[in-house]
Structure 1
Amino acid sequence: MGSLHMLLVPLFCLMSTAFGKASVDDGMHAKMKGTIGLITDNNSRNGKEEIVAVKMAMEDFYHYSNQSFDLQIRDSHADSLQAALAARDLIDTQKVEAIIGPDTWKETTLVADICSQNVTPVLSLADATPDWSTLKWPYLVQISPNQFKQTKAVVAIVQSFEWYNVNIIYDDTDSSSTRMFSHLYSDLSVSGVHISNVLAIPPLGSSSLPQELEKLRNGFCRVFVVNLSVSLAINLFQTAKKLKMMEKGYVWIVTDPFTSLVHSLNSSTMSSMQGIVGVKSYFPEIGLQYEHFYSKFRKKFSSENPHELNNEPGIFAARAYDAAWTLALSMNQTTNKKDQTLLDKILLNNFTGLSGKIHFIDQKLDPSDIFQIINVMGKDYKEIGFWTNGLGFSNIIGQNSIFNSSMKELGQVLWPGRPWGTPRGWIPVLDKPLRIGVPVLATLKQSVSVIQDQTENTTTFQGFTIDIFRATMELLPYHLPYKFYPFNDTYDNLVKQVYLKNFDAVIDVSIISYRYQYAEFTQPYTDPGVVMVVPLRSKVDHRGWLFMKPFTKTMWVLILAMIIYNGFILWMLERRHSPEIRGSMLNQTGTMAWLALTPLVKLDGDKLHSNLSKMVMVVWLFVSLIITQTYTANLASMLTAERLEPTLDNIDQLRNSNIRVGYSSGSFLKHYVENVLQFHAENLRNYAELEEYAEAFRRKEIGAAFLEAPAAKVFLAKYCREFIQAGPLYKVGGFGFAFARGSPLIPDVNKALLHLVEIGKYGIQESFSKFSDAQDPLIEASAKHTYSE
């Protein structure tokens, strides 16, 4: 019988139409099946929709099953204590078998506690029921699916338009809103979106809202994600319009529950919300079931609420209707009213209602996976498309849906101020140029050179880093004024100036992990790494013995052994055929040596008698030819080209030898060499310019130097005959630009810097060509251009 009810549910609308218009009390002859309670805020729009929808459900169920129910409605006045008193009255006085509502989690907690104590199921319309709630209150059933996945839709919208910074505005007076804020913050942060500011809206009527919005307006970020109740949202947008924050350049993204009630707002209120984008709960507004509900609801709602301008049903009406229908079906199948049978029957429901699938798992409906994207324009809103969890954006919902990862594919959006283009999402403070710090102590003068003229009181900045920064700024999609300022201190202190807000950004700094506590960095525009440079030395120390160098000691020993062996073999084979070989031991030894050495000085030799001797001689002649030719080639190479090698092979050899090493003044290398590479501080020497390293090597002050990869390439290109790189490349840093933490400029600067590399248009090609031997197009030259500030 239960499964039959489930199959016949979609047909109730046709049966209801056949019976005509009816009320709960029309069936006087029918026996009452029980009493149902409804707790809601009678003065709110969602409360008015729920009251009408529940009454309609009772009427339709009577026409469907010829069973009627007594409906008792109580007003919570949006107050949790009033909701609790209403629940107590419904249970003790009206003897209700189940309660529908309330809408907020704050009210639901008290009602659920009373209902569980009295073994009375409560079907909560609050959409943010925690996982632990049903364990604490076993008679609590969530008939409204939670909407937390809408935060992922918000993230998808933000990423579609490449906004990397947002402000969050939420209501912290309600725990469900606080949980929604937690989901928003987490999902945005995980996706790489920086939360610039968070504003908890004070209670309605507070005079601090304009001041709080004024602070947000003075910041960089112009993207606002709003999660508020209807009353607070209306107050927010009206205040924002007065502060001119609903104009061009601003972005407002709004979430449920506000978006599901936009249709009920009057034109005056809507005028302060032009251009906002909303994530709205979705339910299929199609089919005979909905058409019947829609037409009947509008008539009944207008009759009971004549002062409401809009009589269209929303998601709250659909959910309340489904809740009442679920309860009526369950009560109709229950005979024992005060045991757990009613709760069991409720949880066994499985049908498609107005709001979607009604199927409970752990006393909750499945979370919503589909949301509608709307755009407020004029006196109403435009339905832009849909977002489906795990699939993305689409224009329609159905089998023919085509999904995209970007909302841009849905079509044109009307933004605040009616611009056709997409807002940047942030606006820099343009009352004064950005202050850019430039290091004076730069070791690589080709990178940055600061020339200060005291007589004319001018400062000139030049170098390829200056050129790269200017070229990057020119590729930004907007004009960004800036001014260079010299800084004569260490690089660590230079980066700290961003944190202290003395500079808006600094350039030509190495990207090191510990510096992230003070600033954020762009991607590096040079090869990252630190290399060890050591002097070269000749492999030939004594030129008087140069003739011995073509072969190693092992090779000489091997040749001598071969000579003795071949001489002995020839002596053994020829002594029987040649009387002159016989004689004293000294004579025979000399003859044996002469037979072996003959092929090294002449290839014919004397006539041999034994055929075996001739075979040995052929082999020995071939080996002798190879030895003599190899020796001649190696000796000629040594006489014509100098053979060089590094004085040290690896860092362990350097560390164990206790040799002093050099590093750049004011750079991170002192910290790196001392703490990471573990050299003693007394063995460290610092130098300001590359030329000082060369002089220090020549004076034997240092035996090695650690340089960043760009500086090492330039140094070795200039002193390639004296010094060489030894050991591995230590992957550290790389030159980049540093901005304040959370700066909205970083994504755009990174994009421009990448574009600069990809198109090869540095605007300074002549400068780079000079140092082409450096092997890196971004550090190949010092700039010919100079700039004065």
Structure 2
Amino acid sequence: MKWLLFILVLSLLYVVLLLTPSGSIAAGRSSGTKGKQHVNGVIGAIVDRSSRIGKEEIVAMEIAREDVYRHFNQNLTLHVKDADQRNPIRAALAGLDLINIQQVEAIVGPQTWEEVSLVAHICTDKQIPIFSLADTTPEWTAEKWPFVLGASHDNFAQMKAIAGIVQSWNWHQVTVIHEEVGSWTHGVMPYLHDSLREVDAEISQFVGLSPFASSDSLSRELENLQKEQCRVFVVHLSLPLAVRLFEMAKKLKMMEKDYVWITTHHVTSLVHSINASIISSMQGIVGVKSYLSETGQRFQDFSSRFRKRFRRENSEEENNEPGIHAVQAYDAIWTIARAFKGSKGRNQELLERVLQTDFQGLSGKVQFNNHKVAPTQIFQIINVVGKSYRELGFWSSELGFSETIGKYATHSSLMIDLEQVLWPGGPRYTPRGWTELTRSKPLLVGVPAKSGYKEYVSMEYSQSRNSTSFDGLAIQLFEETVRSLPFYLPYEFVAFNGTSYDDLVGQIGENFDAVVGDVAIVASRYKRVEFSHPFTETGLMLIVPARSSNKAWSFIKPFTKPMWASITVITIYNGFVVWLIERHAHPELRGSMLHQIGVMLWLSFNTLFSLQGGKLHSNLSRMSVVVWLFVALVVIQTYTANLTSMLTVQRLEPAVTSVEELLKSNAAVGYCSGSNLEKYLVEVLHFPPANVEQYGSAEEYAQAFDKKEIAAAFIGTPLAKILLAKYCKKFMQAGPTFSIGGFGFAFPWGSPLLESINEALLKVSENGTLVQLENKFIREDKQCQDKDDEIHSLSSNGFRALFIITGGTSTIALVIYIFRIANFSALTAIRGLMLTVFKHWCYQSKRFKRRVSDVDSLGNSSPHHASSQLSQV
């Protein structure tokens, strides 16, 4: 019933228009080859004759009809009906007339999706294919209206080209000015939004303009935009409305320095038709234009014929070059003609042959997929300069920007590698894309009023002045950062009285332009805002109660293990040397092997205390022991002093050593309110949700520990330092520091201020201001400042020289002793040989026989005495 009612309403409107004097739309335009008896197809076209696009399409379709006849000997009858984009119902009436009266077999046009959607009902019911020339064709069209075919290339990819331009100059915010037409707003805008998000840019606002907007309306909208910071504008308007917008922008001095204007296909693809008087108000615009190959002979022939015919039929137009809309209309006629050729019937069979189309047209490859021609993948980047425009280069969806097209082209992801852009205002420089705030509209900075850590944020209200003052490390650091900016930035602190820091961050972009305070950098908050570089240490510390350390083995702490090993080795070595030298003079040092080893070890550690120097027989052992006594005295005195210090100073150790210990004991733990750590403790560290409590200040933590409410607390490093500075003898860190973000300033996503804030924050950090502020606000408790330094175990490095001296002395004594033993053995052997020779000689000589007995007695005397007796003989 609804469908019949709709047809009835259209029919009545059609009759009314026919009966009115202004109903010339029904007359249409019919062109064919007179005198021809055989017609091979009847085509209808719905175009807006008053628009430049409609004028180009009519001429292009007439040329296509003539070419079809010349190449295929095929007559086509073309009926053209006028439409008005401002009144889509006229397109529906024109469609009824073409189908019912002219009995067309296919329809080309209209230009907008609103018009196409109205004609689509009629064509689907009559099974007449309609070749839509609208830029937007929804994905669901083929299912609802199978006879609707998208004959123009979708330009959704142009939004990625625009995002590439924005990314090339590191702009983060864009204002979109679009026409309030349903298909334009809902069809293309989501693609632009997603494409900009991929390059870390954001649409600051959408400005919708009515196609019939007055000059006053345009002026008000542009004046409002002048008050905003964003200076990058993407214009998605029809050409007539865009021309009016730029003329008004020029009057308001918005086509000058610091402004960036980027136009979409709807404006740029018709820039060739704009006359010199109008284009003067568009200087510096950068646009994305549908790529049209103009090098082939076929296009050159078409272009030559088009210019002659267009000049003849549209003498009021100054420029007669064909654009993308002309070649798309030309290709649509060729597509229909190829489908007619070989088609035995009409309707469904004709549709099937169209869907099988595959040829190279003037606009590119013509091949239907899901009832639409393949989308455009290459766009031309132009810059409006002088009386025309400059071709800067190209952009393709797969390769990015390039100066030329072809296999030898050099591609880049950034447009800055193309030719120099002449921006509005003339000079060859790159606009920042935003402007500073003014005193009339300062930066509204949200500050958490209920922060439990006054060291970072504190607030005081003065009744006499009726004003609120803010202080703290975060506040003063932000003030110093703003002073370091290369431009003036007015700001105003605004107190936030809520308790949730997520709520505070969530109001950025609505009630606040930024947030300053002890706000943690958390991944979940990046969905809403962006953060500056952290101005505190990053990490999460496990804080637990501290207890005294009273271990039974404390007496070994004065020295490290390598030191004890060094003392043991040098003592045994010195004892061995003394034992070896003294063993012949002391019978108690001799005996079995096991006995001698025991005696040697006993001597090693007892020499220092019981064996006095007077009991030592050899000077070598005395020399070794004297040096070792000196070294041992130094070692013993050092040990005594360090042990006394360790036993005197109270040493603390953590009551809990690890997260695993907390989990095994099912202990309750605390975390900072507003820090968004509950999810981390539950999902990452696996604490039961019932065992997790939040606290807002260092004092609350101390009370919770005293009441045994919690066994440990997970606190961000900046706040943990404050807690430990106040309660250094009650709490301490246990285990490693977990890696999470620190504190940072929060700004809206894509804020143009963020880059400058980060640079200024680095300057403040590098010049020492941040350290001074930390020392000013984060002070240690007096008891912590007066506490003794921690006593460390002593290593062997400080005693290396003494050990070398005593070891070297013992080694020298050992070498001398061994050398003496070797010399005594050699002297004894020589003496025995001499006595043997002398005896032999005496027995051979009778004169000395009486001396033999005397000589024999000499064998048992000392070597010195024997030598003297022999000399007398």
Identify the match of residue 646 of structure 1 among 648, 651, 654: 654
Find the aligned partners of 1:682 and 1:178 in 2 and give their Cα distance: 47
Which among 227, 230, 251 is matched to residue 239 of structure 2? 230
Q: Go from structure 1 to structure 2 and tell me whether the alpha carbon gap of 1:641 and 1:235 turns closer, same or farther (over 3 Å shift).
A: same
How many Å separate the matches in 2 of 1:144 and 1:360?
11
8 Å contact kept, 1:498–1:504? yes
Q: 1:317 aligns with which of 314, 326, 336?
A: 326
Give the alignment partner of residue 263 of structure 2, picking from 254, 265, 271. 254
Q: 1:532 aligns with which of 532, 539, 542?
A: 542
What is the match of residue 375 of structure 2? 367
Contact 2:474-2:516 at 8 Å conserved across structures: no
Report the equivalent of 2:223. 214
1:308 to 287, 306, 317: 317
Instruction: Give the direction of change, closer, same or farther, for the CA distance of 1:697–1:344 in structure 2 (3 Å limit).
Output: closer
Task: Give percent identity, aligned residues only.
Answer: 43
| Structure 1, 679-688 or 75-84: larger mean CA deviation | 679-688
Match of 2:44 among 14, 28, 37: 37
Task: Give 2:179's aligned residue.
Answer: 171
Paired amino acid for 1:80: P
* TM-score, normalising length: structure 1: 0.72
**Which residue of the partner structure matches residue 522 of structure 1?**
532
In structure 2, the partner of 1:185 is 193
AA paired with 1:764? T
User: What's the offset of the Cα at 1:427?
Assistant: 1.7
Is residue 350 of structure 1 aligned with residue 358 of structure 2? yes
Instruction: State which of 100, 117, 122 in structure 1 corresponds to 2:108.
Output: 100
Residue 542 of structure 2 aligns with an amino acid whose one-letter code is M
- Preserved CA contact (<8 Å) 1:30 1:66: no
Residues 485 and 189 of structure 1, relative CA distance in 2, 3 Å threshold: closer
Residue 661 of structure 1 contacts residue 685 of structure 1 at CA under 8 Å; is this kept in 2? no
Q: Given that residues 547 and 655 in structure 2 are in contact (C-alpha distance below 8 angstroms), is that contact kept between their aligned partners in structure 1?
A: yes
Q: Which residue of 1 aligns with 2:63?
A: 56
Aligned mate of 1:762, from 767, 770, 786: 767
Question: Would the aligned equivalents of 1:471 and 1:763 in 2 still touch at CA under 8 Å?
Answer: no
Deviates more, 1:488-497 or 1:173-182: 488-497
Q: Name the CA shift for 1:142/1:633 in 2 (closer, same or farther; >3 Å).
A: farther
From 156, 167, 178, give the equivalent of 2:164: 156
Structure 1, unmatched stretches of 5+, are: 1-22, 551-603, 775-789
1:289 aligns with 2:294: no
In the alignment, the residues of structure 2 paired with residue 106 and residue 184 of structure 1 have an alpha-carbon distance, to the nearest angstrom, of 21
Q: Could you say which structure has the greater relative contact order, defined with CA pairs below 8 angstroms and 6 or more residues apart?
A: 1
CA distance in 2, matches of 1:746, 1:737: 9
Report the Cα distance in structure 2 between the residues aligned to 1:442 and 1:338, rounded to whole angstroms: 77
Is the 8 Å Cα contact of residues 248 and 417 (structure 1) preserved in structure 2? Answer: yes
For the pair 1:510 / 2:510, whether they are aligned, the reply is no
Range 285-294 or range 213-222, more displaced? 213-222
Q: What is the CA-CA distance between 1:486 and the residue it aligns to? A: 9.2
Q: Which residue does 2:752 correspond to in 1?
A: 744
Query: Aligned equivalents of 2:114 and 2:465: distance in 1?
Result: 71
**Which one-letter code corresponds to 1:283 in the other structure?**
L
Residues 202 and 208, structure 1, Cα contact 8 Å, conserved in 2: no
Deviations 1:159-201 (A, max 9, x none): 1111111122222324244211222223223443222111221
Normalized per residue, which structure has more helix?
2
Question: In the superposition, relative to structure 1, how do residues 402 and 662 fare at CA in structure 2: closer, same or farther (>3 Å)?
Answer: closer
Compared CA separation, residues 194 and 32, structure 1 to 2 (3 A): same
- State the alpha-carbon separation in 2 of the partners of residues 133 and 202 from structure 1: 26
Once the two structures are TM-superposed, the CA of residue 105 in structure 1 deviates from its matched residue by: 1.5
- For residue 148 of structure 1, report the CA deviation from its aligned partner: 0.9
Do 1:442 and 1:688's aligned partners in 2 also have CA atoms closer than 8 Å? Answer: no
Mapping 1:379-778, distance limit 5 Å: 379-431=387-439, 434=443, 465=474, 468-469=477-478, 472-473=481-482, 476=485, 478-482=487-491, 492=501, 501=511, 505-511=515-521, 521-540=531-550, 641=646, 644-650=652-658, 668=675, 686-687=697-698, 707-713=715-721, 723-731=731-739, 733-739=741-747, 743-750=751-758, 752-753=760-761, 756=763, 761-762=766-767, 764=769, 767=772
TM-superposed deviation, 1:310: 1.0
| Alpha-carbon distance in 1 for matches of 2:185, 2:457 | 52
Q: Normalized against structure 2, the TM-score is what?
A: 0.66
Of residues 257-266 and 673-682 in structure 1, the stretch that sits farther from structure 2 once superposed is 673-682
The range that moved more, 744-753 or 394-403, is 744-753
Q: What corresponds to 1:202 in structure 2?
A: 210
Code of the aligned partner of 1:234: V
Report SS of the residue matched to 2:519.
strand
Give the Cα–Cα distance (whole angstroms) in 2 for the partners of residues 353 and 369 of structure 1. 15
Tell me, in whole angstroms, the C-alpha distance in 1 between the residues paired with 2:183 and 2:694.
Answer: 61
Q: For the residues of structure 2 that align with 1:325 and 1:249, how far apart are their CA atoms?
A: 47
| Residue 297 (structure 1) shift | 0.8
State whether residues 232 and 434 of structure 2, in contact with CA within 8 Å, keep that contact through their aligned partners in structure 1: yes
Tell me if structure 2 keeps the 8 A contact 1:106–1:175.
yes
Check 1:449–1:127 CA distance in 2 against 1; reply closer, same or farther (3 A cut).
closer
Query: Partner residue of 1:240?
Result: 249
Task: Specify the alignment match of 2:854 in structure 1.
Answer: none
Distance change (3 Å), C-alpha of 1:53 and 1:706 = closer
Q: Compute the displacement of 1:144 (Å).
A: 1.2
TM superposition shift of 1:389: 0.2
CA contact (8 A) 1:34 1:331 kept: yes
Q: Which of 137, 143, 147 is the equivalent residue of 1:139?
A: 147
Contact 2:128 2:347 in 1 (8 A): no
Find the aligned partners of 1:684 and 1:487 in 2 and give their Cα distance.
19
CA distance in 2, matches of 1:115, 1:49: 25
**Mapped contact 2:515–2:745 kept (Cα < 8 A):** yes
SS at match of 1:258: helix
Residue 151 of structure 1: how far off its partner (Å): 1.0
Question: Cα distance, 1:388 vs. partner?
Answer: 0.3
Alpha-carbon RMSD across the aligned residues, in angstroms, is 4.9
Task: Say whether 1:68 aligns with 2:71.
Answer: no
Matched residues, number? 680
Contact 2:53–2:326 (8 Å) recurs in 1: yes
Match of 2:410, SS state, is: coil
Kindly name which structure, 1 or 2, has the bigger radius of gyration based on alpha carbons: 2
Cα deviation, 1:336-387, whole Å, max 9, x if unaligned, reads 2336443333333322221111122233211110111122223222222111
Distance 1:372 1:361, change over 3 A: same
CA distance in 2, matches of 1:527, 1:428: 31
Is the deviation greater in 316-325 or in 646-655?
Answer: 646-655
| C-alpha separation in 1, matches of 2:156 and 2:489 | 39
Secondary structure at 2:78 match in 1: strand
Aligned to 1:114: 122
Q: Is the 8 A contact 1:139 1:343 kept in 2?
A: yes
Give the Cα separation in 1 of the matches to 2:127 and 2:462: 88
Shift of 1:293: 1.2
